[in-house]
Structure 1
Amino acid sequence: MRQQNLYDIRDERFSDLLILNAFLEELCSDCLWAEGPVWCEDWGHLIWSDIPNNRMMRWSPLNGVSVFRQPSDFTNGSTRDQQGRLVSCQHGKRRVVRTEVDGTLTVLADSYRGGKLNSPNDVVVHEDGSIWFTDPTYGIISDYEGYRSEPDQSCRGVYRIDAGSGEVTLAVDDFVQPNGLAFSPDHNKLYVADSGFSHDPSAPHHIRVFDVAADGRLSGGDVFADIDTGVPDGFRVDCDGRIWCSAGDGVHCFEPDGTLLGKILIPQTVANVVFGERLRNRLFITASRSVYALHVNTRGCR
């Protein structure tokens, strides 16, 4: 796809973030629902989830596409912790797990106050080492991306796992369907998507922003930006604090004040994005059946 069909520029500042002779490359096209991309610079490859196929995939410039893990317990979002270990959300067993250096899995969270989690969806790590994840019900509303089940929890929350004690605490409980989440570059703000509109036309399709205190408590929670096409799913923040968010028609880029700068138009519904490669200036995009890549003129946060 050439650049003249690729961009919807709403603010001229967006032009400065684009490489006008860059091409959108399709790296893989045989997924059922591609999600949860994470770039692993030291390993030299991209990992993502193909949730309905119950597998995690990888791509490298040298070796192309291969299976990383199957079965994956319907893994959705993943990230890496400060030691480089993979932290993943599993719909199948309704838990957050860490992959150790030897390949074994450590369960970080699978319940709250005696009840199973709904279906952990996306996960990020704060600079203090705490792990934050969202827990909507997408993985238990059918047998397509997990196992159909009634929820044990009374809300669909955002949770924090303490870096020292491992204690799981509920940080926010007023979302319809919390989804993607990311910290600002200074880790003083937490952005969280609410994608409830996916199954209820009266529900939200926006990103909220919270202030993060030193003790991990959140305050605020105002709407940062609405997504005008589809719903916000996964997103990432670049080094200048801009939000690059998935949407029904592509990737929407927002200034830190919430101004929509423009869109990268993708031919499939976008689920998530991640910045990758050595300079973190290549945007990897998981979108329905495919994974795309596009060079941009900014760098993602580490």
Structure 2
Amino acid sequence: MSHSQTYEVIRPVFRDLIHSNLTLARIATGHVWTEGPVWFPAHETLLFSDIPNAHMYRWTPHGGTSLFRQNSNFSNGNTRDREGRLLTCQHATRSVVRTEHDGQLTTMADRHDGRRLNSPNDVITRSDGSIWFSDPTYGILSDLEGHKAKPEQEGSFVFRLDPDSPEPTVVSRDFVQPNGLAFSRDEGCLYVAESGSSHDPDVPSLLKVFDVQPDGGLGKPSDFAAIDKGLPDGLRVDQYDNVWCSAADGVHVFSPDGELLGKVKTPETVANLCFGGPRGNMLFITATTSVYAVHVNTKGAVG
């Protein structure tokens, strides 16, 4: 892609967030549907999922791509917890699991009110040690990204799992299919993607935002921004509180007020993204069959 094809500048301030002389680099390809990128600074390693192939991969700047987990149980979203451990949403087990420092897996959540979760999709953490995740039905709709099954939950919810809690608490019932999650820098706001238009064109392709209450609950949602190409999936917040969100034509970047500043254009539909790299200023993009990377002029809100 040429420089002019890589970026769409809508507001002049977007130029301050990118290096307009740089283009996307495709750092991995040959996959089916890449998802869940997460950067581990201590190892200078990017991990990501290929959901239909049920594999997880690692990428390093000097070693390229290699297999990280042979059987990932159709892993989707990944994140680091505050102790540097990997948290993963698994469709096959319909659970959120933690990879301990010795490599063992611990199930963090797989049920609510005695019934199995749908298929946890994206996961983030908060500084109080709580784990937040979305639970749409994508992993049980067919055998492509999990195992086809009937939902046991009454809907598709957003959950919070408190430290030492035996099971997660529903914090939002406001979505058809909740997807990507991200906190603002001060953790006072939670952004959630509504991706229900994947199966129902009448569902608006929106990012919604909630105020996080002192007790960990959420206020009423408001519409933050609309995606004008495709639907929102994974998202991240940068150090200036801008929201970077996946879409059909690339990564859409919104100001803290929800104004579309510009786009990082990609040749494939984007599923998710994260900030990382040795200096934290690289944008990694999982987009259908490939993973792309480009240096930007910002870093993630969460290190």
Normalising by structure 1, report the TM-score: 0.99
Partner of 2:41: 41
Which digits, 9 at most, give the CA deviation of each residue in 1:93-146, with x for residues without a partner?
100000001101100000000110000000000111100000000000000000
Equivalent runs, 1:90-239 vs 2, <5 Å: 90-239=90-239
Partner of 2:26: 26
CA separation in 2, counterparts of 1:258 and 1:274?
A: 19
Equivalent runs, 1:73-88 vs 2, <5 Å: 73-88=73-88
Which digits, 9 at most, give the CA deviation of each residue in 1:248-278, with x for residues without a partner?
0000000000000011110000000000013
Partner of 1:282: 282
Partners of 2:77 and 2:121 within 8 A in 1:
yes
Partner of 1:17: 17
CA separation in 2, counterparts of 1:177 and 1:167?
A: 21
In the alignment, structure 1 segments of 5+ residues that lack a partner are none
Partners of 2:32 and 2:52 within 8 A in 1:
yes
Q: Kindly provide the amino acid, as one letter, of the partner of residue 76 in structure 1.
A: N
Task: Name the SS of the counterpart of 2:170 in structure 1.
Answer: strand
Shift of 1:166: 4.4
Partners of 1:155 and 1:174 within 8 A in 2:
no
Q: Kindly provide the amino acid, as one letter, of the partner of residue 273 in structure 1.
A: L
CA separation in 2, counterparts of 1:52 and 1:15?
A: 36
CA separation in 2, counterparts of 1:205 and 1:4?
A: 26
Shift of 1:79: 0.4
Normalising by structure 2, report the TM-score: 0.98
Partner of 1:299: 299
Shift of 1:193: 0.3
CA separation in 2, counterparts of 1:186 and 1:97?
A: 26
CA separation in 2, counterparts of 1:171 and 1:105?
A: 26
CA separation in 1, counterparts of 2:166 and 2:257?
A: 34
Q: Kindly provide the amino acid, as one letter, of the partner of residue 279 in structure 2.
A: L
Partner of 1:244: 244
CA separation in 1, counterparts of 2:84 and 2:92?
A: 24
Q: Kindly provide the amino acid, as one letter, of the partner of residue 265 in structure 2.
A: L
Task: Name the SS of the counterpart of 1:129 in structure 2.
Answer: coil
CA separation in 2, counterparts of 1:64 and 1:130?
A: 33
CA separation in 2, counterparts of 1:202 and 1:210?
A: 22
- Superposition CA RMSD, Å: 0.8
Partner of 2:60: 60
Partners of 1:197 and 1:205 within 8 A in 2:
yes
The answer to which of 163-172 and 176-185 deviates more is 163-172
In the alignment, structure 2 segments of 5+ residues that lack a partner are none
Partner of 2:266: 266
Q: Kindly provide the amino acid, as one letter, of the partner of residue 217 in structure 2.
A: R
Shift of 1:279: 2.4
Task: Name the SS of the counterpart of 1:16 in structure 2.
Answer: helix
Which digits, 9 at most, give the CA deviation of each residue in 1:13-41, with x for residues without a partner?
11111102212100111110000000011
Q: Kindly provide the amino acid, as one letter, of the partner of residue 18 in structure 1.
A: I
Partners of 1:39 and 1:45 within 8 A in 2:
yes
Which digits, 9 at most, give the CA deviation of each residue in 1:35-61, with x for residues without a partner?
000001101110000000000011001
Task: Name the SS of the counterpart of 1:13 in structure 2.
Answer: helix
Partners of 2:7 and 2:20 within 8 A in 1:
no
CA separation in 1, counterparts of 2:135 and 2:167?
A: 16
Runs of 4+ aligned residues of structure 1 deviating over 3 Å after TM superposition are: none
CA separation in 1, counterparts of 2:7 and 2:267?
A: 12
Q: Percent identity?
A: 54
Shift of 1:158: 0.1
Q: Kindly provide the amino acid, as one letter, of the partner of residue 231 in structure 1.
A: L
Task: Name the SS of the counterpart of 2:13 in structure 1.
Answer: helix
Partners of 1:208 and 1:224 within 8 A in 2:
yes
